[in-house]
Amino acid sequence: MIAGLMRGLVFGLTMLLGWPLAHGHEMGTAALMIHEWGPGQAQVVFKRSKSADGTVPPIAFSLSPPCEIADQGTTWEEDREVIQRAKLACAGPLNTHTLEATGFTRLAPDLIVSGQLGEGQTLTGVLTPKKPTLMLNGQKASDGPLLDYLLIGLEHILFGMDHVLFVAGIFLLWRKRQQTVAQLLGLFTTFTVGHSLTLALLVLGWMVVPTRAVEAWIALSVLWVAVQLALHDPKQSQHRMVRSQLLLVLLFGLLHGSGFALSMEDRGFPADQLMPALLLFNLGIELGQIIIVTLMAGLFAWFQTLSARRYPHLLPWGEHALIILTGGFALFWTVERIATYA
């Protein structure tokens, strides 16, 4: 009876965790771009992408003192992103106004603001529930919230469930092959080098990649990990296995770095503080990886303790549940993303 309850618990946790994972990236994004071409005259572009629940983030913005909005137009891109364009007519220059955002949710926790004001002033900032207003007074809006890029990087990996399952799968693969801690550090160092390289190249504009192809390849990388977890490893030398594993992880790191960069394409990085913001964003991703691996290590240490004491089948059930979860959603994402080519 207890064994049945434990199986039910593992299955229930798998379904509970899997329900919000049907989309690779859970969080919706919101970005506002402003270009002031004359005193109080500006063009705005407001972009919002759907979150995992299929809804567009309910984030809205307003200016104080109020401005007139004209020539509004709304377009959709691939039924995933809504883009609104409008012209602002304000009583005075925008640097005399305050921007305010509302409608933040758990799946839409921030609004990225960027643009150019009159007299060549650069506008960059991140609005959040704790800091929902921004004075457009010509000061560098990024001075205060630059550290927010650390949190944005953290959110990108923790709420990008294809990235989460890939990192978790690499950890499980390391456990399955009974490798050393040094080899685990080597795997994640290699992954970090790969995604840091393509992230920097894409953000700096030195490289261009096809968006839909990258998303499909990322899904395939997760599927590859799931297949490796399900299959028995072929007999080969440990040295050769580690070398081929490192090469594949490096290639997959390049792919995932492209995904990180593409997800920040509309949000952008502050041009005047590009390198610090990029570094903080990357550090946030690394912090997210450490959190995932730490949680996985703690979870399996707990499973192992329970298996040794009372429930001998809990550890393999937990491993099988995670393999099924990883493989099932990786296959779903792969089919879904390849289908967008049609």
Q: First vs last Cα of the chain: how many Å apart?
A: 49
pTM for this one?
A: 0.64
CA of 86: how far to CAs of 44, 116, 338, 339, in Å?
5, 16, 34, 33
pLDDT for 178 equals 82
pLDDT for 20 equals 43
Cβ contacts of 322 within 8 Å, gap of 6 or more:
14, 168, 172
For 190-202, the pLDDT digits (tens) are 888 888 888 888 8
CB-based contact 61:46 (threshold 8 Å):
yes
What residues pair up with 62 in beta bridges, in sequence order?
100
What residues pair up with 41 in beta bridges, in sequence order?
38, 89
Give the other-Cβ count within 10 Å of 93's Cβ: 19
Show the tokens assigned to 311.
Answer: 């429930």
For 302-339, the pLDDT digits (tens) are 877 877 677 777 677 777 888 888 888 888 888 877 77
Longest Cα–Cα distance of the chain, Å, equals 75
Domain residue spans in the chain?
2-24+160-339, 30-144
Q: Is the pLDDT of residue 245 over 50?
A: yes
Q: Is the pLDDT of residue 292 over 60?
A: yes
Q: What mean pLDDT comes out for the span 85-91?
A: 91
What residues pair up with 128 in beta bridges, in sequence order?
131
